[in-house]
Each structure stands twice: as structure tokens, then as C-alpha cells.
């Protein structure tokens, strides 16, 4: 459960998070970050999201199409 909070905090700071959360939760987080913190924090969250995608693509040698579409 704490990794959900950790992922949210990492998104707010623009840092890469390595634990996976559901797509629905990620979209919810992005919407709430925009609503509660504004565009600047959303940009950081999107940067963290991209770092997460790149991390998973690197370790799994895959293309995260759905996540890239959300981004």
C-alpha cells in the first residue's frame, strides 16, 4: 500500500518510480495533480511517468504503447 503513496510523491517531485501502479490509478493521480497543484507539478509528474516508462521498457525490452498514449 505504501508504494502507492510513494509513486504519487515521486510523481510530484518528477523522480523515476520503479514500482508499477495500475493505469487507472496513474490517470487519477495525473488528474488530481493538475487539479490540486497546477500545471508545473503536472509537468513534473509527466516527466516522472516518462522515466517510469523508459525504466520498464529498458528492463523488459518492450514498448509500453498504452502508457505512451496516456502520456
The residue ranges of every structural domain in the chain are 2-70
Average pLDDT over residues 12-41: 93
Given a cut of 90, whether residue 67 has pLDDT beyond it is no
Quote the pLDDT of residue 17: 87
Quote the pLDDT of residue 1: 61
Question: Which run of H or of E encompasses 46?
Answer: helix 39-60
- As a whole number of angstroms, the distance between CA 21 and CA 23 comes to 7
Q: Whole-prediction pTM value?
A: 0.82
- As a whole number of angstroms, the distance between CA 52 and CA 54 comes to 5
- As a whole number of angstroms, the distance between CA 54 and CA 35 comes to 26
Amino acid at each position: 500500500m505504501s508504494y502507492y503513496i510513494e509513486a504519487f510523491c515521486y510523481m510530484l517531485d518528477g523522480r523515476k518510480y520503479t514500482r508499477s501502479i495500475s493505469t487507472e490509478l496513474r490517470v487519477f493521480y495525473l488528474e488530481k495533480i493538475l487539479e490540486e497543484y497546477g500545471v508545473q507539478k503536472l509537468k513534473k509528474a509527466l516527466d516522472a511517468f516518462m522515466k517510469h516508462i523508459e525504466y520498464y521498457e529498458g528492463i523488459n525490452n518492450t514498448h509500453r504503447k498504452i502508457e505512451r498514449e496516456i502520456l
